[in-house]
Chain A
Amino acid sequence: MKTKTLKPRASATRRKPAQLWQLRLYVMDETPKSVTALANLRKICESHLKGRYRITVIDLLKHPQLAKGDQILAIPTVVRRLPHPVRTIIGNLSDTHRLIVGLDLRPLE
């Protein structure tokens, strides 16, 4: 699986190291929608999950067979693999409120 993995920027050594968020972003090529989606996702993760997340970007143009596994229809799609349960958000993630609801993110206290 040749995927571009983005390591969290900040140190993930703060509390609850077990609560690592695994997110997958499915895109098709470097379209504006994909780029926007990735930027929006990073922004939200930075503000809510600093140091506790990992985003995997999967380009379906290169790996079309991977679409089936996560039941991908729409592009872009974010799949929250961990923590359970699996959650799916589609779109360029411009609607931050929907994204927070979709990922079930609670704002950091």
Chain B
Amino acid sequence: MKNNGSNSNSPATLLPKCPTGIQGLDEITGGGLPRGRPTLVCGGAGCGKTLLAAEFLVRGAVQFGEPGVLMAFEETEVELKANVASLGFDLTGLVRRKKIVVDYVHIEPGDVQESGEYDLEGLFVRLNHAIDSIGAKRVVLDTLEALFSGLRNEGILRAELRRLFRWLKDKGVTAVITAERGREQLTRHGLEEYVSDCVILLDHRVNDQIATRHLRVVKYRGALHGTNEFPFLIGEKGLSVLPITSLALNHKVSGERIATGIPRLDAMLGGQGFFRGSSILLTGTPGTGKTIVAANFAQAAARRGERVLFFSFEESPNQIIRNMHSIGLRLEPLVKRDLLRFHSARPSLYGLEMHLATMFKEIAEFRPHVVIMDPITSLMEAGTSSEGKGMVTRLIDYLKAGHVTSLFTSLTQGGHALQQSEAAMSSLMDSWLLLQDFEGNGERNRVLYVLKARGMAHSNQVREFLISSRGIDLVDAYIGPSGVLTGSARAAQGALEKAAVLSNQQEAARLKREVERKRAAIERQISGLRSDYESESAELRRIAEQVGTSTLMLTTEQAESGRLRQADAKVAVGSRDRARNGRVN
């Protein structure tokens, strides 16, 4: 057992304790009920008083070697045996092996006439005889209050009860006395005034048509105890109290990373996927593919040879297998190899506590590496929101303590993905992926992004999430000035860009041609001008030649004529100059 009376870390002066063996109760009470003293267990009808008492006795006999006496005032021996048999307790066998004595005390109201004074020595004798016959260490008096309906003289009865509890203490037995819950006090007949060492209150409350049992240690004289109300449940193996607050945040963490089964998603999560033993929340509106991501993760883990436990609260295993087959996931062989196990239950089947207990049981049996809850939100609706969160907390703590990676899908109502409840739950989660719809252009497209991923670098990008018969693909969504574009809009945008590029190219080509043409034109002009120039210069040369020829001819002619006239050219010129000067002076 986890704790027992002689707890090594407790001071020597502490009360010796008597372990109940009831899961969780010994944790709350720090080792069990006060040894050798009576404990009062009170509660309303049907809250599990008798079962708690019976389990205390049976576990005492089986696990701790302490025989016990069950004195029943309300149920006969046969009824009791049948009732506890449903919890897997073999009361008949224990009685046969002299580990337990069941004594049914029959009191019929009005059956007994009272005449004068009496005491309850008969009860003492019977109890004493029963205790001594097997050397009992534990005693259960199941609803001692039945005496109040059978006996009219309350004065005598109260005095005798006081004597009984003192007698039990003197006898050194650890006793559990059950009592009906009273209106204003803990018990209907005020039994708490006699039993002052330890009082445990059981409660059965109904919230939104779903009942949850609670246990509270009202009083524990001389010992520290958890004072909170703890949910408990009656399962197939007896009671289990689920202390939330006793779970400490001290689990070991792993640096190992595990792939998600979607390579692009791994890339978004720092290239390696999730941490082993982390808790992952996958939020999305209806039809965004949460189950698909979860199934991918499950398949990837199972293919690595890890055990995967898939809790489904909305679909049957076969339906999931069939649906996932349509996108290329083959889960069936993994189920056959017992690497993947499904557990489907409607959330409304029973209360949260029962769900939790069932899950704990499954997890303890299968010892999975990965646990998937699809979807956690519909399970949380089975209780109030605080209960739901408490349950998720306990579940995550339990899984983390066992290094189990957990993936929870969460269904968000309506268009807005971030709801209050998700925000509350997300604080418990290490990674949070968001799946969202984008509607536009007459179509709906899915996108995925990583909202948070504790302890790893992760992509801040929105990825479009495509589901095809080949599986999941993540593609870059178009992010431009007009926002995120997905689906055909993304395709259209792509085409648009292509067209723009093409037209740019064409424009460039056109410009090039133009330039070419211009150059050609200029060159043509240049060659035209050059030929003009050349023809002109040829003309010029011709003219120059002509001029030269004619000048020569002229000079020759003048010389010829002067000679002919016999005139001195020099004289003629000089006389002309003199004449001009004479006119000026």
Contact = CB atoms under 8 A, between A and B. Distances in A.
Interface stretch (A4-12, A15-23, A46-54, A63-71): A63-71
B279 to A, nearest CB: 57
A90 interface: yes
A99 B114 CA distance: 8
Contacts of B118: 33, 74-77, 90-92
Nearest to A65: B129
Contacts of A60: 121-122, 125
B184 interface: no
A90 B103 contact: no
Given A71-B105, A73-B105, A73-B147, A33 B126 contact: no
A60 B129 CA distance: 10
A91 B126 contact: no
B26 to A, nearest CB: 33
B9 interface: no
Interface residues of A, number: 33
A94 B107 contact: no
A62 B316 CA distance: 67
A74 B120 CA distance: 4
Given A64-B129, A68-B103, A89 B122 contact: no
B568 interface: no
A84 to B, nearest CB: 14
B121 A75 contact: yes
Contacts of B105: 71, 73
A1 interface: no
B350 to A, nearest CB: 39
Nearest to A74: B118
A68 B117 contact: no
A72 B122 contact: yes
A90 B112 contact: yes
B104 to A, nearest CB: 9
Contacts of A94: 115-117
A56 interface: no
A70 B120 CA distance: 14
A46 B117 CA distance: 22
Contacts of A40: 116
B123 A73 contact: yes
B151 A95 contact: no
Given A64-B126, A73-B147, A98 B117 contact: no
B106 interface: yes
Nearest to B133: A65
Contact of B120 (A71, A73, A88): A73
A76 B115 CA distance: 10
Contacts of A72: 122, 125-126
11 contacts: A28-B125, A60-B125, A71-B105, A73-B123, A74-B122, A88-B112, A90-B118, A93-B115, A95-B115, A99-B113, A102-B113
